[in-house]
Structure 1
Amino acid sequence: MKDGPDIARIANLIGDPGRANMLAALMSGKALTAGELASEAGIRGQTASGHLTRLEEGGLIQRDRQGRHHYFRLADGDVAQVLEALMGLAAKNGQLRTRTGPRDPELRHARVCYNHLAGNLGVLLYDGLKARGVLVGEGDDIALSDAGRAEMAALGIDLSAKSRSPECKSCLDWSARRSHLAGRLGRGILDHMFAQGWASRPEGTRIVRFTGLGEAAFRKAFNF
């Protein structure tokens, strides 16, 4: 293709195994150091530094500086959405890096996708909000209804902060291969879950693990 966006360059950046592993690690939404990302990718620090420079120049990650320390995070939610979709395509075609194990069912049940809830619970939440008319529209063209906005406000989810991120956005879930909720509302709901103590994240993983009563409280609060 001679005209239009250069998808080959982006595909090349993501396609290297070391870079792909580092990008996958950043799907947790946390900022990580070069050393932590090198460990995730199983490569030497010098090699990781070169990969991170290429990813930064390609606009896929951003660097945060705090004194002498440098931290890296995904550039934005659009990058996370592309990675989640690629994970789904890989899973659909049987391209799995490891055998399933104890963590696999937990990841499929509930996990963090950059800054919002994914997995089976994320899909059920999205479907429930649409069924009740909290969300209206289809695909990427979804929005909060007036009643839905009032409901979120009553729960204490503040969406008034200015942001380049859309208020509501669908994101294709890699494990369920159906949509879950992203955007500022998705982030607000995830933050609300943690603030209420319904769930937590085990260190070093994307898993969202609910307490004994937490999942029931979460489902009741959002009525799904």
Structure 2
Amino acid sequence: MVYRTGIRWRLMRDLAGDANFLTPAALIGDQTRARILLALLDNRALPMTMLATEAGVAPSTVSGHLTQLVEGGLLTVRRQGRHRYYSLASAEVAHALETLAKLAPPFTPRSLRSGTRARAMRLARTCYDHLAGHLGVSVMQALIERKALIGGNGVHDPARSVKDRLSAPGWDLTYEVTEHGWTVLGEVGVEPPRTARKAVRYCVDWTEQRHHLSGAVGAVVLERLLELGWVVKAPNSRVVRVPDKGVHGFREWLGIEMDALRTRAAA
């Protein structure tokens, strides 16, 4: 018996119409292609040779997978010199991968090294072109508490959410940077971005049921933190390290204590 109400009917309707998610699901579901997509999740553009290394396959093998991902709309490719560079087609692709990570079975570290990396991912990582993890959430919460951002309290409430879901872009709230907020952001050299992109967006972070800052402002904040040396991208990873310079900087700017965040990430 098929009910024409609720999620089951909507799913069948979409599969019979334009929104056939079987195509991207099949592309993502392959282990080699999944590794390629995860390697690009920090908004990098990488050549085929490096993606072959990331996926653990030969360049001749990865070539076919890259063609499928480009034709399927998950990757874009651009030529620069003699090489082609591949990147995620959009932020929506990144958010889809983040959501799947939330749906995946819990990760059980099999070694000290993998356990350390899992904690590092929870502590601070990139989410496409902005900061996520406990650090990203704490930055947004501190901006809200200082009235630099208005429009919400930074907390995801599943019982009240309409469109918002864990590990996905937020839609229910509209955040704005206040006049005072630009002063706070200006303390570290962040200026209003000149772009047609929406200034303030947010994502519901999968490490905890809270929001982290995205949109144009989220992108320029991460860019500035990298310039200041407060955060450093780990090689070939979405993990973001916070050196001593950043530990002192975050404490002085927003009162964020990295030791407390490390304890939360290890829990």
Name the CA shift for 1:7/1:172 in 2 (closer, same or farther; >3 Å). Answer: same
Rounded to whole Å, the distance in 2 between the matches of 1:97 and 1:3 is 41
| 2-structure distance, mates of 1:52, 1:177 | 34
2:180 matched residue in structure 1: 147
List aligned pairs for 1:3-14, cutoff 5 A: 3-14=17-28
Aligned-partner Cα distance in 2 for 1:135–1:46: 49
Unpaired segments of 5 or more residues in structure 1? none
Alpha carbons 1:89, 1:174 under 8 Å: kept: no
TM-fit CA distance, 1:96: 6.0
Report the 3-state secondary structure (helix = DSSP H, G, I; strand = E; otherwise coil) of the residue aligned with 1:204: coil
Residue 94, structure 1, aligned to residue 109, structure 2: no
Measured at CA, do residues 73 and 96 of structure 1 come closer, stay the same or move farther in structure 2, by a change above 3 Å? Answer: farther
CA distance in 1, matches of 2:129, 2:135: 15
Query: For residues 178 and 98 of structure 1, what CA distance do their matches in structure 2 show?
Result: 29
* Change in CA separation of 1:14 and 1:172 when aligned onto 2, cut-off 3 Å: farther
Out of 243, 254, 257, the position equivalent to 1:211 is 243
Gap change, CA 1:97 and 1:22, over 3 Å in 2 = farther
The equivalent residue for 2:162 is none
Distance 1:98 1:23, change over 3 A: farther
Work out whether residues 61 and 74 of structure 1, in 8 Å CA contact, stay in contact via their aligned partners in 2. Answer: yes
Tell me which residue corresponds to 1:183. 215
**2:77 alignment partner in structure 1:** 63
Given the two structures, how large is their TM-score scaled by the length of structure 1? Answer: 0.87
Give the C-alpha shift of residue 65 in structure 1.
0.8
1:86 and 1:174 in contact (8 A); partners too: no
Q: Distance in 2 between matches of 1:37 and 1:45?
A: 8
Question: After the TM superposition, which of the residue ranges 35-44 and 214-223 deviates more from structure 2?
Answer: 214-223
Partner of 2:232: 200
**Partners of 1:219 and 1:7 in 2: how far apart?**
44
Q: 2:141 aligns with which of 119, 124, 127?
A: 127
Which is greater in Rg?
2
CA–CA distance in 2 between the matches of 1:185 and 1:102? 30
Match of residue 265 from structure 2: none
Show CA shifts across 1:148-201 (max 9, x none): 2343245321333224x4222212323335321111111111111111122222
The unaligned stretches of length 5 or more in structure 2 are 1-12, 153-169, 257-267
The answer to whether the 8 Å contact 2:91/2:128 transfers is yes
Relative to structure 1, the CA distance from residue 98 to residue 76 in structure 2 (aligned partners, 3 Å threshold; closer, same or farther) is farther
